[in-house]
Structure 1
Amino acid sequence: MSKSVPVPVGPSAKQQLVLTAERLFAQRGLDGVPLRQIGTEAGMANKSAVQYHFGSKEGLVQAILLNRLEHLTRRRQLLEARSASDDLRAVVEAHQLPLIELAEDETCFYLPFLEQLLRYDYSVNPLTALPDAHRESHQSYVDRVGALIPYVPQPLRDNRIHEVSAMCVHACADRHRARLVDMAVPSYAVHVSSLLDGFVALLAAEPSKDTLTALKGASATRPTLRALP
C-alpha cells in the first residue's frame, strides 16, 4: 500500500486577510486602502470579510500586530537569556535582532507596516494595547539598558531608548524596500553590526554640557514610552 502524501495547508481566510492587509498598509498607508480592497486581494468572495473577522480597521491593525508579536517576544526572551546582562551591546542586540531579521524576508511587510503605524494619527494608539507579555518584555529591556547607562539622566535616557527602537524600524524598513527592487545593500553581517554600533553609541554617549543645561529647564516628568513591537 502506498502512503498518502499530506496536502500542504495554506493560511486560513483570517490569516490571509492579515497578511494581505500588512502588505497593502505598508505600501499605501493606513488610509490608502479600502477594507473591501483588502478582502478582494486576499481572495475573499465576501466583500465585508474584514468587518466579519475583525470588526473594523482598528481590529485588523491589532490583528496584524498580534500575528508577529508572539514570535518576536519568544525570540527576544531566548536571546536575552543567552546574553550578558552587563554588556550594553548584547542587551540591545537581543532586543532588536528579532526585528532586524524580518527585513531579510521579502514576503514579510511588517517593518514598513510599523513605519506607517508610527506616523498615523490615532486617537487611541494600538501600541498602547499590546499584550502584557510584550509590554513586560519591553519594560525589562528598558530597565536593563537603563541600568547600564545610569549617568544619562532622565528623561534623556528613556528618550534615547525610544529613539533607538524607532531608528531600528526605519532603517530596516528601508533595507526591506531596497531588497524588493534589487538595490545593492550591505551584507547582513555588516548591516547588523553597523546598526548595533550606532545604537550603542547613541545610548552610551556622555551628555554634553549643553544638553545637561537644557535638561535643567525641561520638565522633570518622564515621557510615556510606547512598547514598540
Structure 2
Amino acid sequence: MLTTRQRLIQAAAQGFADHGIQAASLVEITRQAGQRNRGAVHYHFRSREGLLAAILDEHADFMAVRQGELLARAMQQPDDDVTSVIEVIVRTCVEVAESSVGGRNYLKIVAELAEQDPATYTPEVKAALVRSGGYQVYAVLMKRALEAVDGLDEEVRDHRILQMTSFVLGSIARRVRSLDSAGSPGSRPQLDTARFVEDLIAMASAMLLVPVPVPGVAASV
C-alpha cells in the first residue's frame, strides 16, 4: 500500500505532466491523492518546488546508474566524438519514458524544465537533477563539441546544446503521447523503439556538428 507521500508524488507527477509544473493545481493533486487536508502538500514537501524535487528523485537512481554506464562507454571514444555522448542522453530518456506511466510523466516534466533557465531552478530541484547524473554528461558534451566543430565558440555551442536538448526531449515526449493514444482516430504510426533511438541520435548529433555559418553568406544566397 502506498504511503500518503507516495500518493502525492504519483498524483503530482501526473498533474505536472498533464498541465505544467506551475499550472497544475495543488488542491486537485491533493484530491487525486485521496487526501482531504488541503495542506498535505505543504506538510510533506513544504512547497511546489519541494514536491517537484521529490518527483525527480523518484527516477534519479535509475538515471544516474544508466547514464553512468553509457557515459563510461562514451569516454572510450575520441575526444571529439559527440555522438556517443548524445546516445547517453537519448537512450536513458527513452528507457525511462517507456518504463512506466511514472517514467513517461517524469520525461514530460524534465522536458518542461529543459525549456527554463537553469538559474531559476531552486536548490532542491537542482540537487535532484545533479543526483540523476545529467550534469556530468553535459560537461563532457560541452567539451567535445568544441573539439568537434571548427570555429565553434562557447556561446554558439551553448545555444546548439540547448536547442538539441529541447528537440530530443520534445521528440520523446511527443512519441510517448502518440503511443498512449495509439489506435485512436488520427493517431500517427510510430517507429519501433530501436529505430527511433538510432534516428534521434543521428539527428541530434547533426544539430551539433553542422559547420558554423560564415557571417553574411546565408543572407546573400
Q: TM-score if structure 2 supplies the norm length?
A: 0.79
Distance 1:138 1:91, change over 3 A: closer
Q: Cα distance, 1:140 vs. partner?
A: 3.2
Q: Cα distance, 1:119 vs. partner?
A: 5.2
Correspondence 1:124 to 2:115: no
Larger Rg: 1
Moved more, 60-69 or 196-205: 60-69
Q: TM-score if structure 1 supplies the norm length?
A: 0.76
- Superposition map of 1:181-200 within 5 A: 181-182=181-182, 183=187, 184-200=189-205
Cα separation, 2, equivalents of 1:113 and 1:176: 13
Q: Cα distance, 1:152 vs. partner?
A: 2.0
Contact residue 111 and residue 169 of structure 1 kept, 8 A: yes
- Point out where structure 2 has 5 or more consecutive residues left out of the alignment: none
Q: Cα distance, 1:16 vs. partner?
A: 2.3
- Point out where structure 1 has 5 or more consecutive residues left out of the alignment: 1-9, 215-229
Q: Cα distance, 1:65 vs. partner?
A: 2.0
Q: Cα distance, 1:97 vs. partner?
A: 1.4
Distance 1:65 1:197, change over 3 A: same
Distance 1:177 1:88, change over 3 A: same
What is the aligned-residue identity percentage? 25
Contact residue 85 and residue 144 of structure 1 kept, 8 A: no
Cα separation, 1, equivalents of 2:90 and 2:210: 19
Cα separation, 2, equivalents of 1:193 and 1:24: 31
- Superposition map of 1:18-57 within 5 A: 18-57=9-48
Amino acid at match of 1:155: E
Q: Cα distance, 1:172 vs. partner?
A: 0.6
- Matched residue, 2:64: 73
- Superposition map of 1:36-185 within 5 A: 36-83=27-74, 84-86=76-78, 87-108=81-102, 109-118=105-114, 124-126=120-122, 129-131=126-128, 132-133=130-131, 134=133, 135-149=135-149, 151-182=151-182, 183=187, 184-185=189-190
Moved more, 30-39 or 158-167: 30-39
- Once the two structures are superposed, residues 10-53 of structure 1 have per-residue CA deviations (whole angstroms, 9 ceiling, x without a partner) of 44322221121111111112343321221221223433211111
Cα separation, 2, equivalents of 1:81 and 1:113: 26
Cα separation, 2, equivalents of 1:152 and 1:123: 24
Q: Cα distance, 1:205 vs. partner?
A: 1.0
Cα separation, 1, equivalents of 2:151 and 2:118: 35
Distance 1:121 1:200, change over 3 A: closer
Q: Cα distance, 1:124 vs. partner?
A: 3.0
Distance 1:26 1:211, change over 3 A: farther
Contact residue 79 and residue 94 of structure 1 kept, 8 A: yes
- Once the two structures are superposed, residues 131-180 of structure 1 have per-residue CA deviations (whole angstroms, 9 ceiling, x without a partner) of 55533443233224443335422211122122211111111110111111
- Structure number with the higher helix fraction is 2
- Matched residue, 1:7: none
